[in-house]
Each structure stands twice: as C-alpha cells, then as structure tokens.
C-alpha cells in the first residue's frame, strides 16, 4: 500500500488541541495538596531527636480558615468530572462499555498503589527492625492520604448516573444533591424547632455521624455534578463565578455562625467537617467552583498567549506518582533534619523562627521526594500500561471489593501493620481487574 502524499495528508483532520485549562487546574490543585500536607506536618524533637509529629491545625487556630483554600478535593473532583464527562456520555448506551471505563480507571490507580504499598511495607519492616522510632511518629501519616483514592473511585463509579441526571434534569440534579445533604445534617442534628436551625452546626458537631454518612456520597457527588454541568455549558461566565463566590462566602459565614467547625478536615484535628462531610463543606465547593468560573476567561487568554503545554503536561503525567509518594518523603526528611541539625521543630506559630523552620522542612521534603519520584516514575514507565480491563462480573466485583478493602485497611492501621495487609488486597485487586485471555487451543489439544 502506498504512503499518502503531501496533499492527502493535508486533508487529514488534525487532532483536537488538548484543553489546557482543566489540566492547569488539576496541576495547581495537586501542588496545593502536596505543599499543604507538608506544611501541616510539625515534627517534634527533644534533644535533637524526633519524638512525635503534630498538626498545624492543632496549634494555630487561624489555619482553619486556610483550609477553605487548600482543601482542594472539591476542585479536583469538579475538574475530573468535566474532563471525563464526554467519554462517559459516549458510552451511555453500552452498559459493558461504562463498566469497562470504571475498571480501567480503578486498574490505573491500583497498579501504582501496589508499588507504593510494597515500598512502604519494606520501609516499615526496616524501621521496625531498627527500633521503629521514626515510624511511630509517621505511621498513620504515611497512609492517610489514600482516603482520596477511595472517595474518587466511589464517585467515579457513579459518573454515568450523574451524566444521565445532567441530561435529564440539568441543574436540578445539583439541587437534588443539595437537598439530600441538607436533610442529612438536619436529621443528624435532630432539628425540631427554628431555634435548633440557628444552632445547626453545633448540634451536628456534638452528635454522632448517624444518617450524616449519606453525605459521603451526596456532598462529594455535588462537585462532580457541577463539573458535568460546566462541561455541558450549564455553568460559566464571570458573572456566574462571582455569584457562586458570593454564595460561598455567605454560606460559610452562616455555617460558622451556626457552630460548624472552621477547618474543613476530619475528626481529631480541629473539629469534623469531613467524617462525614457536612453542609459547611458545601460552602467550599461554591467558593472553588466560583473561582474556576471567574478565572476561566483570563486564564484561557493567558494560556493562549503563553502556552505551557509541556509544563502542564509533565505535572499531569506526574499527578498520580506525586500524590502517592509525597507523604513518604516526610520520613527521610525527618531523618535528614535530625542529622543536619536543622530547625525542623521551630515551636508553634508566633514563636521566633517558626516560619524558617517551615521553610527548612519543605525544602527537606522536596529534596527527599526527588529521588523517590525519579525511581517510581522510571519503574512505572517500564511496566505495561496498555493492559485490558476485566470483563466478567465476578472479576470486577472481586477486584473492586479487594481494592476498597485494601485502601481501608491502610487508612485504619497505618504503615504497620496496614501496608502489609493492604499490599495483599490491592495486589489481588490489580490482578483481578485485568483481563486474562486464554491462549487459543492447539490442534493437538483440540483433538
């Protein structure tokens, strides 16, 4: 067959240019998460030796308001839904194809997570043999960030349903999720009188999760539904962004006045707006989505004049490895800080040298992460990345259960013993979620 000539090639349709704005948003969100996690970790030293770690939110009350900006999970879910909506919409008529889309996403998360858990288990084993002093201080910190993978996989499993809801109901689907979230908090708080509503946040904070656990889906599906609406043109424009920003500020002010915690984090830090998610967290959704809409036009003009596809592409490609491995960098960073005598324990905010100590800590974490990222990325690039996804219901269900179970164990038990158990579960999930075609029978075998 002859190769196409120049004119024929010229008539071939060019590949559509990748939309850099969503990629840039995800890259920014990722960097905020990484540096935010490092900044929040406060090593505590005695006589130059690490004895424990603290959290910035426990020691600095004003840091709670900063979580309205650095708690960027709603932004990530919003943008991921917008990017994935078209592909899911094309598969709506094929149930098998929808299922394969989620299995492929789950497999793409499971395989690098197996690598992380394997290394983490090895590090934990070495640390335990050496006495376990450093590991004790960072044990749960090394796995706590895996909660995001659990949440993302769960809401993405419902992405086809959200796409259908947007097609049929438009923004009414967003309103329905908001009503569910509000009812969950009202019932959780046991509201019976108008006066109870005025103290809604305090009553929610004081009571058990109960029916509020419904908001694990309702609240996290909200930015996903908004992301689909944005992709389909139902949201947009600076005016819409300004309205959502104003709504977010008003919403959060009302939430704080009713007694919700300021910080958008989980239990045992500075209140509990995450386990389960509360109506206060919805205010952060409005803020972040409003900021995306308000910045969209100028950001797209900037990207058009100053294209940065390579930088954004590199950050996008490094997204999963960077998220998985950035917490592990805290362990060697603490070890280096001890050996070099750097002021990584600089006291609390307001004490002399605190921010210098934070700068030293961030630098050590970045230095420790660089070789780990280099090795992890090289390893992942050498693996087969075009594995077909499983098709049988038994394999998909078994793989999904094993994946969620493994991540849950790591979250609950930390690096030791959690990483050892989680490694077995997630490795099994990675194997089950792949297609395993049987080789064709030979003539001799057929006979």
Q: Structure pTM?
A: 0.89
> What pLDDT band is residue 15 in, cutting at 50, 70 and 90?
very low
* CA–CA dist 367, 365 (Å, integer): 5
> In the prediction, which pLDDT does 267 show?
61
pLDDT at 360: 94
The pLDDT confidence band at residue 79, using thresholds 50, 70 and 90, is very high
Model confidence over 244-254: pLDDT tens digits? 999 999 999 99
Q: Residue 16 above 70 pLDDT?
A: no
Question: Three-state DSSP class for 88?
Answer: helix
Domain membership of residue 356 (yes or no) is yes
In a domain, residue 3? The reply is no
Number of separate domains in the chain: 1
Backbone angles phi, psi at 433, to 5 degrees: -80, -5
pLDDT digits (tens, 9 = 90+) for 234-272: 998 999 999 999 999 999 999 999 999 999 987 666 668
446 in any annotated domain: no
- Residue pair 360/344 in contact by the 8 Å Cβ criterion: yes
Domain region containing 24: 17-432
pLDDT band (50, 70, 90) for residue 312: confident
**How far is residue 299's CA from residue 293's CA, in Å, rounded to a whole number?**
10
The pLDDT of residue 7: 41
Distance CA 83, CA 78 (A): 9
The mean pLDDT of 331-354, rounded to a whole number, is 90
Question: Model confidence over 25-57: pLDDT tens digits?
Answer: 988 899 999 999 999 999 999 988 999 999 898
Statement: residue 11 has pLDDT above 60: no
- Tell me, yes or no, whether 447 lies in a domain: no
Q: 132 falls in which pLDDT band (50, 70, 90)?
A: confident
Q: Is residue 2 part of a domain?
A: no
Distances (CA, A) of 404 to 288, 304, 407: 28, 41, 5
* 95 occurs within a structural domain: yes
Tell me the C-alpha to C-alpha distance, in Å, between residue 155 and each of 161, 168, 189, 219. 10, 19, 25, 10
In a domain, 36, yes or no: yes
Q: Which two structure tokens, joined as six digits, stand for 178? A: 């908001």
Q: Structure tokens of 249? A: 């500020």
> 306: pLDDT confidence band, cut at 50, 70 and 90?
confident
Q: Across residues 382-405, what is the average pLDDT?
A: 88
Q: Over range 385-414, report the average pLDDT.
A: 91
As beta bridge partners, residue 52 has 44
| Average pLDDT over every residue of 401-424 | 96
Q: What is the mean pLDDT of residues 170-193?
A: 95
Percent of the chain topping pLDDT 70: 91
Tell me the C-alpha to C-alpha distance, in Å, between residue 366 and each of 38, 332, 360: 9, 10, 10
Q: What distance in Å separates the CA atoms of residue 285 and residue 41, rounded to the nearest whole number? A: 25
Longest dimension (CA), the chain: 84
The answer on pLDDT for 442 being more than 60 is no
Domain assignment of residue 5, yes or no? no
Confidence of residue 170 (pLDDT cuts 50, 70, 90): very high
Indicate if the alpha-carbon torsion angle 15, 17, 18, 19 is positive or negative. negative
């Amino acid at each position: 067959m002859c190769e196409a000539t120049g004119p024929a090639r010229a008539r071939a349709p060019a590949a559509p240019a990748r939309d850099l704005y969503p990629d840039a948003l995800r890259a920014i969100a990722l960097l905020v998460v990484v540096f935010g996690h490092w900044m929040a970790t406060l090593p505590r030293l005695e006589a130059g030796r690490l004895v424990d770690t603290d959290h910035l939110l426990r020691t600095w009350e004003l840091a709670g308001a900063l979580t309205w900006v650095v708690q960027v999970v709603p932004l990530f879910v919003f943008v991921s839904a917008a990017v994935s909506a078209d592909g899911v919409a094309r598969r709506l008529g094929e149930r098998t194809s929808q299922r394969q889309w989620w299995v492929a996403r789950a497999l793409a998360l499971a395989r690098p997570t197996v690598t992380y858990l394997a290394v983490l288990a090895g590090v934990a084993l070495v640390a335990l043999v050496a006495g376990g002093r450093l590991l004790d201080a960072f044990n749960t910190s090394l796995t706590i960030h895996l909660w995001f993978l659990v949440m993302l996989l769960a809401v993405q499993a419902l992405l086809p349903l959200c796409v259908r809801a947007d097609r049929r109901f438009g923004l009414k689907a967003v309103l329905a999720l908001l009503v569910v979230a509000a009812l969950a908090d009202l019932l959780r708080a046991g509201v019976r009188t108008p006066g109870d509503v005025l103290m809604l946040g305090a009553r929610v904070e004081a009571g058990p999760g109960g029916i509020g656990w419904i908001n694990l889906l309702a609240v996290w599906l909200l930015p996903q539904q908004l992301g689909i609406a944005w992709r389909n043109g139902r949201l947009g424009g600076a005016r819409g962004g300004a309205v959502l920003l104003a709504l977010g500020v008003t919403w959060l002010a009302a939430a704080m006045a009713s007694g919700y915690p300021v910080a958008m984090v989980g239990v045992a830090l500075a209140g509990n707006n995450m386990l389960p998610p509360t109506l206060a967290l919805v205010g952060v959704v409005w803020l972040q989505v409003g900021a995306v809409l308000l910045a969209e036009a100028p950001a797209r003009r900037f990207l058009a004049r100053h294209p940065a596809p390579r930088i954004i592409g590199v950050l996008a490609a490094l997204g999963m490895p960077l998220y998985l491995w950035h917490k592990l960098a805290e362990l060697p960073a603490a070890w280096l800080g001890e050996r070099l005598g750097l002021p990584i324990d600089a006291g609390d905010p307001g004490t002399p040298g605190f921010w210098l100590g934070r700068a030293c800590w961030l630098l050590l974490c970045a230095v420790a992460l660089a070789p780990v990222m280099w090795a992890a990325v090289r390893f992942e690039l050498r693996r087969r990345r075009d594995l077909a996804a499983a098709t049988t219901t038994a394999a998909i269900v078994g793989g999904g259960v094993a994946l969620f179970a493994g991540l849950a164990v790591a979250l609950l038990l930390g690096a030791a013993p959690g990483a050892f158990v989680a490694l077995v579960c997630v490795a099994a999930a990675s194997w089950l979620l792949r297609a395993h075609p049987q080789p064709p029978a030979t003539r001799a075998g057929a006979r």
